[in-house]
């Protein structure tokens, strides 16, 4: 019997390079089928043909099936551990810090890090790179605009210092933007930049198969400089930290052997 879902993922990979077979099937298949139902295409092969003939349709599809939920200071206790334990340690190593928000969505995590590093490093240099597979969301991250709901956990003092009220929400000030760069990147396909002092990869690999998740964690471990840190999401863990030379040091935080 033919499996139209497998044929669809194979065709999409040929078309875009995006490999949906590395995402948990149940969840992804439900999202795709319900998306297709709302479109004029009746079947997955028909929908794949439509995607092949329209870049706009393709971008819209990828934007809808990736889950972009985020907010600034999401899981504040995790940022507090970074602020009180990890950043002081990184600060001691001197030099300009290189931080990667992997699967950054519309940038809430990267802008949070920028606020925090600007506060804690007191003028020290740092660069934050945010990357995501979704083109539209990367463009949104570059704008640096956040809704009231995105900002609900931001301390008032930080909000006033780094954001201007704008268009019913908040616009990040140039002071933050100068430290941030966003790029399109597929964690399942692209080669990772190396030499990171700290990588945050939170709430991204939860949608991947176990094998893909472990591969991403191992790839990130390799991309860290010795002594660098990886923080995963508040419901996640690295299956085999030792395989990547990592050691768990704080809740959800791993350190690469120096
Ligand atoms: C739920 S958001 C997480 C945002 C942020 N890290 C946080 O925890 O608030 C998940 C993000 O992962 C991105 N993503 C999914 N698959 C990806 C892949 N293969 N490569 C890079 N990013 C991916 C999605 O586009 C989405 O923006």
Q: Which atom of ligand 1 is found nearest the CA of 71?
A: 9
Question: ∠ CA 175-198-218 to the nearest 5 degrees?
Answer: 140
Give the number of other CB atoms < 10 A from CB of residue 172. 22
d(CA 78, CA 63): 27
Residue 31 burial by CB count (10 A; 0-12/13-18/19+): exposed, middle or buried? middle
Residue 31 shares a structural domain with residue 156: no
Kindly report the average pLDDT of the chain as a whole number: 96
> Ligand 1: residues within 6 Å at CB?
66-70, 74, 103-105, 108-109, 132-134, 137, 185-188, 202-204, 233
Give pLDDT, residue 122: 87
Over residues 163-173, the pLDDT tens digits come to 999 999 999 99
Q: How many domains does the chain have?
A: 2
Residue 135 shares a structural domain with residue 238: yes
Over residues 215-242, the pLDDT tens digits come to 999 999 999 999 999 999 999 999 999 9
SS3 54: coil
Structural domain boundaries, residue 167 = 76-256
Q: What percent of the chain has pLDDT over 90?
A: 94
Query: What distance in angstroms lies between residue 206's CA and the mean position of ligand 1's atoms?
Result: 9
Q: Which atom of ligand 1 is found nearest the CA of 137?
A: 27
Residue nearest to atom 2 of ligand 1 (CA): 68
* Domain boundary residue, one of 40, 65, 90: 65
Residue 58 shares a structural domain with residue 88: no
Residue 209 shares a structural domain with residue 176: yes
User: pLDDT higher for 68 or 41?
Assistant: 68
Where does the pLDDT of residue 35 fall: very low under 50, low under 70, confident under 90, or very high at 90 and above? Answer: very high
């Amino acid at each position: 019997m033919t499996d139209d879902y497998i044929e669809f993922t194979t065709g999409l990979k040929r078309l875009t390079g995006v490999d949906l077979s590395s995402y948990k099937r149940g969840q992804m298949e439900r999202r795709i089928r319900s998306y297709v139902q709302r479109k004029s295409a009746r079947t997955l092969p028909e929908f794949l043909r439509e995607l092949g003939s329209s870049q706009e349709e393709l971008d819209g599809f990828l934007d809808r099936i990736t889950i972009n939920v985020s907010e600034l200071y999401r899981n504040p206790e995790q940022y507090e551990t970074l602020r009180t334990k990890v950043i002081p340690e990184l600060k001691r190593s001197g030099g300009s810090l290189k931080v990667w928000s992997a699967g950054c969505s519309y940038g809430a995590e990267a802008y949070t890090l920028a606020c925090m590093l600007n506060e804690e490093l007191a003028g020290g240099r740092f660069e934050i790179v945010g990357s995501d597979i979704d083109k539209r969301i990367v463009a949104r991250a570059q704008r640096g605009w956040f809704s009231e709901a995105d900002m609900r956990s931001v301390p008032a003092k930080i909000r006033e210092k780094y954001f201007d009220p704008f268009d019913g929400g908040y616009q990040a000030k140039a002071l933050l933007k100068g430290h941030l760069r966003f790029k399109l990147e597929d964690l399942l396909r692209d080669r990772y930049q190396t030499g990171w002092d700290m990588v945050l990869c939170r709430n991204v690999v939860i949608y991947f198969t176990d094998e893909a998740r472990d591969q991403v964690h191992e790839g990130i471990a390799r991309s860290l400089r010795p002594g660098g840190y990886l923080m995963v999401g508040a419901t996640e863990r690295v299956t085999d930290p030792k395989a990547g030379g990592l050691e768990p040091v704080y809740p959800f935080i791993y350190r690469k052997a120096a």
